[in-house]
Amino acid sequence: MERDDRKTVTSCFSKVFQKKALLSTKIYAEIFDQIPEARKFMQGDVLQQKEGFVSVLIEAMKMPQTGEAAERRMEELRQLHVQLGVTAQQVERALNIILEILREELAADLTAEEQKAWDRVIRTFGLDLAAGLS
């Protein structure tokens, strides 16, 4: 991840946040379509999905690359997914869906630089999460 990515995603967060309903609807529909097993883990409630999606954005945006607090939080998130029985492969597939929808849906709202920063921040975060699962 580039050094300034965190600053960039923070500065344009509101543009992404504004589209949370559209983004979460598309992302969950695509995840449920392509990873049907995910349905049993995730709540069907649309409001809750929207909040869950916003938490993912915020966690990814805020998570520092290094440091004890970041490692502790990442370990907690891995444990949460392990306990649910979510596999590394499922997380990677969901990550690719998220990245693709963010690319498509935000193209008109973000600059190319902002798009790339979001892509790197979410990708790094999701791969780090997947790395601890089996």
Residues that bind ligand HEM (CB under 6 A): 35, 38, 41-43, 52, 55-56, 59, 77, 80-81, 84, 86, 90-91, 94-95, 98, 122, 125-126, 129
We find the least distance from the C-beta atom of residue 3 to ligand HEM, in angstroms, to be 21
Nearer to ligand HEM, 9 or 56 (CB): 56
**Three-state SS at 12:** coil
> Least distance in Å: CB of 26 to ligand HEM?
15
End-to-end CA distance of the chain, in Å? Answer: 24
* Minimum gap (Å) between residue 121 Cβ and ligand HEM: 10
Specify the residue, 119 or 126, whose C-beta has the smaller distance to ligand HEM.
126
Q: Rounded CA gap, 15 and 130, in Å?
A: 27
- Residue pair 61/13 in contact (Cβ under 8 Å)? The answer is yes
DSSP 3-state percent helix, strand, coil across the chain (nearest 5): 80, 0, 20
Of residues 120 and 126, the one with the C-beta less far from ligand HEM: 126
| Closest approach of ligand HEM to the CB of residue 23, in Å | 13
Residue closer to ligand HEM (CB basis): 94 or 101: 94
Q: What is the DSSP string of 25-41?
A: HHHHHHHHHH-GGGGGT
In the block, tokens 């979510």 appear at 86
